[in-house]
Homo-oligomer: A and B are copies of this chain.
C-alpha cells in the first residue's frame, strides 16, 4: 500500500453493504457520554435511530426522550419487556459492573446488543455476558469506537500488508485527568467495584485494544506496575466505595512473535493520548489517538517514504453505531465482538494481578 492510498483509505468507510432498513436502539443508562456522544451519533446514523431510553432518573429520561421522540423506560420496565417493540437492539452504557444484567435482559428479549467498553468489571462476568448472547443467538458487539475509526482501520490494513515490515513493538498512553475534573470522587468510574478497576479499565483499554486490533494478535503474558497514593486529595471519596489500585498504571504485554506492547494510563497528570507501532522497516505514530471524535494526526516513516496527515476520517462513534446496525441488518458478526471485549477484561485482570504480585502472569487462550 503506498502512502497516498493509505490516506485515501483513512477517509473512507470500508465495510458498508448498504443494507435496507434501520436498527432502532434502546439506550440503557443516560450518563454524560451516552447523552452527549452516543445519542447524537445514533440520531445522525445512516442505519440507526433512537427507540427508547432506560434510566432510573425519570426527569432526565423524559428530557432526553422528548428531544428524540423515544419511549421512556425505567429499569424495571426494561427488565419486564415493556415497549419491547419500540427497539430492535440495546446499547448498554451503565457502569461496567452492571453490564451483565442489562445484557442478559436484552438477550432474554431477543435483542441484539452493543455494550460499552470494558465489557464487564470481571472476567467471570464478561464470560457470562458472552455466553448469554451466544445462547440467545443475538449479536454482541463491544463498543470499541477505535475499530470503526476509518484512520485506525486504514492503519490496520497498512500494518497487516507489511507497511512497517514485521512489527517489533508497540507503545501507547491514555492519560485522562478525571481526578482534576468537576465530577468529584462520587462518580462510578472511581469506584473499583462498579468499574472493575481504575485507569486501566477506564482508559488503558484503548491502547491495549487498539494495539491488539492493529496487530491482529493477543498477548500471552503481562507484567505491570500500578499505584494510587492519595488520588482523592482533599476531596474524600465515599468511604463505602472501594478504592482503585491504579491512578497510574504501566503494563508490558508479550504478544506473539516477540512483539511487546507498553501501555500506560492515568487518572491524573497532563492529558494526552497517543499510540506508536514500530516495525522492522517502519513506524506509525498516532497523536490525539483516543480522544472521542478527535482529529487524529498520523506520522509514518516506512520504506514507502514519510508522511504526516490529519483532517481525514469520520466521527468514529457514528461509524460505530452504523457498523453495529450494518452487522445486525446483514447478519455479519461484528469484528469487535463479545469475545474481543472479554479478552481485554481478562488481560486487564491479569495486569492487576501482576501489579499486585510483582510477577509476570501468563494468559490462557479463551
Contacts and interface: CB of A to CB of B under 8 A. Distances in A.
Interface string A265-278: 01011101000001
A164 to B, nearest CB: 7
Interface string A344-361: 000000000000001110
Interface residues of A, number: 37
Contacts of A227: 258, 260
A189 interface: no
Contact of A283 (B258, B270, B283): B270
A169 B258 contact: no
B248 A225 contact: no
Contacts of A171: 171, 173, 262, 264
Contacts of A114: none
Contacts of A358: 221, 223, 359-360
Q: Which of A269, A272, A283 has the most CB of B within 10 A?
A: A269
Contacts of A272: 278, 283
Contact of A168 (B168, B248, B280): B248
Interface in A247-262: 248, 250, 252, 254, 258, 260, 262
A288 B340 CA distance: 37
A175 interface: yes
B270 A258 contact: no
A270 B278 CA distance: 6
Q: Which of A164, A270, A278, A359 has the most CB of B within 10 A?
A: A270
Q: Is the interface of A mostly helix, strand, loop or mixed?
A: strand
A224 B358 CA distance: 11
A168 B254 contact: no
Contact of A223 (B164, B223, B254): B223
B254 A252 contact: no
Nearest to A300: B270
Contact of A279 (B168, B264, B269, B278): B269
A281 interface: yes
Contacts of A269: 168-169, 278-280, 283
A270 B264 contact: no
Interface in A214-259: 221, 223-225, 227, 229, 248, 250, 252, 254, 258
Interface string A294-305: 000000011000
Contacts of A95: none
B283 A279 contact: no
B223 A270 contact: no
Contact of A270 (B173, B250, B280): B280
Interface in A281-325: 281-283, 301-302
Given A169-B269, A171-B173, A360-B359, A252 B280 contact: no
23 contacts: A168-B266, A168-B269, A169-B264, A171-B171, A171-B264, A223-B225, A223-B252, A225-B254, A225-B360, A227-B258, A229-B258, A250-B260, A250-B262, A252-B252, A262-B264, A266-B278, A269-B279, A269-B283, A270-B280, A270-B283, A270-B302, A272-B278, A359-B360
